[in-house]
Amino acid sequence: YENGMIAIERVETIILDVPTIRPHVLAMTTMYRQTVCLLRLHCADGSIGIGEATTIGGLSYGDESPEGIKLAIDSYFAPLLLVGDASRPAMIMAALGRSIVGNHFAKCAVETALLDAQGKRTGLAISELLGGRVRDELPVLWTLASGSTADDIAEAETMLDLRRHKAFKLKIGKRALVEDVTHVGAIKRALGDRASIRVDINMAWDETTARRGVAMLADIGCDLVEQPISRNNREGMARLRALSAIPIMADEALHGPEDAFDFARSAAADVFAIKIEQSGGLSAAKAVQLIADAAGIGLYGGTMLEAGVGTIASAHVFATFPSLAFGTELFGPLLLTEELLEVPPTYSNFALSVPSGPGLGIALDEDCITFLRRDAAARPTI
Ligand code: MUC
Ligand code: MG
């Protein structure tokens, strides 16, 4: 190739099914497993970039599914990638943006793999490619979503004892309001000042319920309310925010820089849960952060319950955020029974360490991938 162009020779996508350590009960679905779409970009210089896309409960959370992401990458992204220059990730992402509408999760997996390969060939961590990290450790909360108040309290006590998490997010909105608030109150009373308690309603409330709910939650010591109402009701979010004594955070409503700009302009959230997949990639997530910072909106590092690859990609992005007032929820790998990475992510002292090696700074455990892949035909026969 002329001009130092580095071709992408093969685009490999693999679906993995990974069981969760316990059922994860959310307002819209209960997860018993996480399905991961893994991506490998094999480049002509020998570098291989890895990326990941996950969703929550198939199509129950958003409008992309792991199977759909695989199909989109195989059918529409791959032909564009195969004529691209891997040494210019931003140019490839711009070309993909011109030819492919939406598909944010798939774009995120592709950008992760492009930056991983670029990092490996330049010797730089992805966080450095994105402008440089300001921290090596990210505070990580845990979601209590076993479906039982007593089990949730026991789980929280274990996490506190292990010094793994001291902030907890409770998934509510499935049951009647008073029942939900009683559940949150019981957990807050049991943990007291030892833990921060937040809730995620995942859009399950209407605005009137949210008005009552947010006030009740503020009274019992809840620190943050995440996406109480529909992602489409932006004015409702602004009204709730104006009334609330505790911060209101946007999650499902945030699909990248344009939404972030609109939220900032309409003062519709105190805090953004930034997710690299929902934002449309790592650079798009950075753009969301910059808008939030300019608007004085607080930041929280969100997750789509990604496994190791997506979690570490998110960690590189969040490590570049000058302020991260509400910490992160990058616990995805800990919810899974299997470890997909050769060296598991390090969680200690209530934080995740951001790897410092080139690219993502991680390697896949090939035996584990072989074992978990859905296309059993590709598995070696024993
Ligand atoms: C969400 O809506 O925030 C993040 C943590 C968790 O337990 O579920 C996800 C999705
Ligand atoms: Mg959420």
Question: Residue type for 225, please?
Answer: V
The binding-site residues of ligand 1, defined as CB within 6 angstroms of any ligand atom, are 56, 143, 145, 200, 202, 251, 302-303, 305, 329
The one catalytic residue among 107, 169, 171, 188: 171
Count of beta carbons in the 10 Å neighbourhood of residue 207: 15
Query: Which alpha helices (DSSP H) does 197-351 contain, by range?
Result: 207-219, 234-243, 257-265, 276-279, 282-295, 308-318
Residue (of 368, 325, 321) closest to 344 by Cα position: 368
Residue (of 132, 130, 42) closest to 86 by Cα position: 42
Q: What backbone phi and psi angles, to 5 degrees, belong to 7?
A: -75, 155
**Contact assessment for residue 249 and residue 271, using Cβ atoms and an 8 Å cutoff:** yes
pLDDT at 3: 76
pLDDT one-digit tens code per residue, 61-86: 999 999 999 999 999 999 999 999 99
Q: What backbone phi and psi angles, to 5 degrees, belong to 17?
A: -110, 120
Rounded distance from Cα 331 to ligand 2 centre (Å): 13
In the chain, the domains with their CATH numbers are: 2-126+365-372 (3.30.390.10), 129-353 (3.20.20.120)
Closest ligand 1 atom, residue 331 Cα? 5
pLDDT at 376: 73
pLDDT at 378: 64
Q: Does residue 188 have an active-site annotation?
A: no
Give the number of whichever ligand sits closest to the CA of residue 141.
1
Q: Which two tokens stand for residue 354?
A: 């951001």
Angle 318-323-328 from CA coordinates, rounded to 5°: 45
- Say what the pTM is: 0.97
Mind listing the pLDDT tens digit of every residue in the chain (382 residues)?
557 899 999 999 999 999 999 999 998 999 999 999 999 999 999 999 999 999 999 999 999 999 999 999 999 999 999 999 999 999 999 999 999 999 999 999 999 999 999 999 999 999 999 999 999 999 999 999 999 999 999 999 999 999 999 999 999 999 999 999 999 999 999 999 999 999 999 999 999 999 999 999 999 999 999 999 999 999 999 999 999 999 999 999 999 999 999 999 999 999 999 999 999 999 999 999 999 999 999 999 999 999 999 999 999 999 999 999 999 999 999 999 999 999 999 999 999 999 999 999 999 999 999 999 999 766 666 5
Q: Does residue 207 have an active-site annotation?
A: no
pLDDT at 382: 56
The Cα 217–Cα 353 span in angstroms is 32
